[in-house]
Chain A
Amino acid sequence: AQSVTQLGSHVSVSEGALVLLRCNYSSSVPPYLFWYVQYPNQGLQLLLKYTSAATLVKGINGFEAEFKKSETSFHLTKPSAHMSDAAEYFCAVSEGFGNEKLTFGTGTRLTIIP
């Protein structure tokens, strides 16, 4: 069975500081991993995905994530936080090929301090 753990339900960083949101996964097969962002009263927007190509994945809005198989991690980073990054972030895993459902972590609410 697949699962995702997001450490830290709330993270606060100063504007211009590094953003680091943690995600660890469990999967019985090589996983497909995703980060989504949700702004208030909206749906989910795909930030980036890992599908067994390069382990360092670049996404939209300056975000990137690194797949580390040995640590079963897929942490999301951004070098310099912007006020517009304030939102809730979800890490998700899929095993694909007949099991395409996404299993989500519980989310991390990111607050940017001016």
Chain B
Amino acid sequence: EVQLLESGGGLVQPGGSLRLSCAASGFTFSSFVISWVRQAPGKGLQWVAAINNRGDGTYYADSVKGRFTISRDNSKNTLFLQMSSLTAEDTAVYYCAKRTSPLSPSFDYWGQGTLVTVSS
């Protein structure tokens, strides 16, 4: 059974930093692109960042470019999101999501999410 389990969320002050993790199991982690997708309270889904299966290709939404860094450790089946210079607009539930296949850029499995709250 595919499982994605996020952790690391919490309350952080504006301008602060936070590191999210996503532990994967039930599939060959090193074979798939994984993304972070966030959802602000009461709002829609927003793609944030993605990383290729080898970890040498990363992609970011304009809103987080230069502030967020996505990485992965294939030996530990874990995805990370290092977030810095956080603002209130970054407050959201952050989901990690697995790409369906190399041929389909959709997301077939999602974690349960971890809440990041940026507030003083």
Q: Are the chains A and B members of one assembly?
A: no
- Contacts from B to A (Cβ < 8 Å): none
